[in-house]
Structure 1
Amino acid sequence: MKTGSSTTSNIMLRYGMKNKLTLARNTDFRDKHCINFTGIDYSASHMQLNKSAISNVIPNAKYFTIIRSPYTHLRSAFYYFKFSTMLDNSTFRQFVEHLEIYDNFTHLHHQHRNGQIWFLDPRFDMNQRDNDTYILQAIKELDQELDLIMLMEYYDESLLLLKKLLCWEFDDLVYHQVKTRKPKDTMVPEMESSIRKWSNADFLLYEYFNRTFWEKVKNYDGDFEKDLNEFRVRQQNVSNQCASSDARKYNSFCWRLVVDTHLIRGVAIQQQKTWMYTIRKERKEKCSSI
């Protein structure tokens, strides 16, 4: 959460609706074991990675996610979830200066200490959060399990790598930023030091995948800069096209581009109701509770 995931989910949902793919809901992964199940095509949710549970329901899937610098990640959460109003109107700086006393508080709001690695690896032992050797080993195992880690700070570049991974077109990747806010304050070195100490595992996670990200860019199959420029021109053209409210007719391309995630997800679920009977029948035949 708060890593550009809503914008990314919208891209996936729009592609799924265009191609009449079936979207998984989190309940589809609960305590199920399936054999040769084909009823669900993709998932686009905030969820902890449980590859064995997902592969039971979506076999042979590609796995990708998005992460963000822990500095801006925590700041975004502070303002989005209105932490200040719940903490006697504390400023972000005051919050950061006393992070140690807020462990339980942030956990309640799904913004855990080392919360990005928590989402990616439910097996991670938080008692080892200051053990760099243990952390790096866990990160290397994640690297083997995931096909792509996108970086919010390099979103367009990330989408080009995603395009190659999924064999998509530029129009499948154009986006409208969802739930974005401009920074309200400046991060000073003392604040960065406090956040780094508090979320050490997330920093090692980000540094590792920042390095491997640019290795993927270096090994890109094609002219990366040319494709990046072409995508950004297409992105700007689509933004201009959808700028007018007249272009945003309900469930149109522009509506799907700019609407909030929960609305487009609702439309996607509604769309697939026409073939849900077939999916339920197959699930009954091929899946069982564990």
Structure 2
Amino acid sequence: MIKKLLPPLGVRYGDFDKYRNYDMSTIHARFYRDIFDKYMANGTHYVTSVRDPADQWESAFHQFNFRRVISKAVNGHEQMVIINSSLKVPFNKGNSTLDAINEFLRKPKVYHNDLKQLGEVVWHFGHNSQMFDLSTDLTMDQIQNETLVNITINKLIHELDAFIVAEYFDESLLVMKKTFCLTFTDILYVSQNKRELKNKLPETTRTKIRDWNRADTLLYSRVNESLWKKIHSYGPDFQKDLKYFKNLLLEVESNCSLPLHKRPFKLNHKTYGKTLKPSASLFCKMVAGHFADILKRVVDKQKSQHI
């Protein structure tokens, strides 16, 4: 893995012994704390995010097209599955995503196994994916053990310095700002990579998703509870600071992005991001720019200063 990393500034390509003291890592990666400690600078803060498993799993189902897996599995078994007395899979345009989700949840172990058997590299998104990414000392079978999961959650809460709860994103950032002695400017952002239309799932389906993703549900519950304790201990200025922060976010979006203009991402034609104004400042480019453009700036700077 180390061969895929860009060396730190001033370090020659391939001089792996000096691949140390990185200031920041923001890539998608599973949380191996011992490995991160080996490469990150002393005093690095570790931050992660969690999301309600019902929303996170539905998003993964949509993004990675799990309904295609259901269709493949049924074809492989040479059988049709009847839904609501009439609808059948393999799915066509006449079937909704909710039909596919409910079919998956009818026999989730079977379909999750089909994800593996069909060679889908995203199979882990089908079951407790948040704990899979964070509890790297547990196997997928062990993640089903609630006692081990709770022990691991205790460990994660100790090892990670901050958690962002997606449903309370701004509140989480305020708590992190106070924890790390940051400024409001440090936590400004403009939302990107958002799905324009989302499936509205009935609560019965959402409950089934949480039950299927029990470990993720336990993690989310503990982290969410911890967040609100920190909000309570933040002090009487929390609501005032939150209102001020939200107004700042609106101001940044207005100053940096074109109004009512959405640009589709290549990852998914139904996912959109805001477009920068032609006269955007460097600050706007860093806060509201496309992640690929920001990444290129970082890569170019590192490459320009290599020995």
Q: Confirm or deny: 8 A CA contact 1:93 1:191 kept in the other structure.
A: yes
Q: Which moved more, 1:49-58 or 1:81-90?
A: 81-90
Report the CA distance between 1:199 and its aligned residue.
Answer: 1.0
Q: 1:275 to 1:158 in 2, by over 3 A?
A: same
2:284 equivalent to 1:275: no
Q: Confirm or deny: 8 A CA contact 1:34 1:57 kept in the other structure.
A: no
Match of 2:121 in 1: 108
Report the CA distance between 1:194 and its aligned residue.
Answer: 2.5
- The number of residue pairs the alignment matches comes to 251
Q: After the TM superposition, which segments of 4 or more aligned residues of structure 1 sit over 6 Å from their partners?
A: 32-36
Aligned equivalents of 2:277, 2:3: Cα separation in 1: 30
Aligned equivalents of 2:181, 2:289: Cα separation in 1: 25
Report the CA distance between 1:115 and its aligned residue.
Answer: 0.8
Taking structure 2 as the reference length, what is the TM-score of the superposition? 0.72
Q: 1:35 to 1:256 in 2, by over 3 A?
A: closer
Q: 1:264 to 1:36 in 2, by over 3 A?
A: closer
What letter matches 2:34 in structure 1?
A: S
Report the CA distance between 1:132 and its aligned residue.
Answer: 2.0
Aligned equivalents of 2:149, 2:18: Cα separation in 1: 34
SS in 1 for 2:164: strand
What letter matches 2:49 in structure 1?
A: I
Q: Confirm or deny: 8 A CA contact 1:100 1:198 kept in the other structure.
A: no
1:1-290 matched pairs, under 5 angstroms: 27=5, 37-38=20-21, 40-58=22-40, 59-86=42-69, 87=71, 88-89=90-91, 91=97, 92-104=101-113, 105=115, 108-109=121-122, 110-220=124-234, 223-244=237-258, 247-249=277-279, 252-277=282-307
Q: CA RMSD of the aligned region, Å?
A: 2.9
Structure that is richer in helix per residue: 1
Question: Deviation per CA, 1:145-180, whole angstroms, max 9, x where unpaired?
Answer: 011111000000011122123332212222121221
Q: Confirm or deny: 8 A CA contact 1:35 1:56 kept in the other structure.
A: no
Report the CA distance between 1:28 and its aligned residue.
Answer: 6.7
Match of 1:7 in 2: none
Q: Which moved more, 1:61-70 or 1:104-113?
A: 104-113
Match of 1:288 in 2: none
Stretches of structure 1 that go unaligned for 5 or more consecutive residues are 1-23, 278-290
Structure that is richer in strand per residue: 2
SS in 1 for 2:148: helix
Question: Deviation per CA, 1:184-236, whole angstroms, max 9, x where unpaired?
Answer: 33322432232123211000000011111111111226721111111111111
SS in 2 for 1:126: coil
Q: Which moved more, 1:113-122 or 1:74-83?
A: 74-83
Aligned equivalents of 1:156, 1:221: Cα separation in 2: 16
What letter matches 1:259 in structure 2?
A: G
Q: Confirm or deny: 8 A CA contact 1:242 1:248 kept in the other structure.
A: no
Q: Confirm or deny: 8 A CA contact 2:51 2:167 kept in the other structure.
A: yes
Taking structure 1 as the reference length, what is the TM-score of the superposition? 0.76
Report the CA distance between 1:269 and its aligned residue.
Answer: 1.2
Q: Confirm or deny: 8 A CA contact 1:97 1:194 kept in the other structure.
A: no
SS in 1 for 2:49: strand
SS in 2 for 1:136: helix
Larger RCO (CA within 8 A; separation ≥ 6):
1
SS in 2 for 1:175: coil
Aligned equivalents of 1:176, 1:217: Cα separation in 2: 23
Aligned equivalents of 2:3, 2:187: Cα separation in 1: 22
Q: 1:266 to 1:36 in 2, by over 3 A?
A: closer
Q: 1:228 to 1:147 in 2, by over 3 A?
A: same
Aligned equivalents of 2:154, 2:24: Cα separation in 1: 25
Aligned equivalents of 2:178, 2:158: Cα separation in 1: 18
What letter matches 1:225 in structure 2?
A: Q
Report the CA distance between 1:37 and its aligned residue.
Answer: 4.3
SS in 2 for 1:219: helix
Stretches of structure 2 that go unaligned for 5 or more consecutive residues are 8-14, 72-89, 259-274
Question: Deviation per CA, 1:216-262, whole angstroms, max 9, x where unpaired?
Answer: 11122672111111111111111111233673457733233333323
Aligned equivalents of 2:248, 2:195: Cα separation in 1: 24
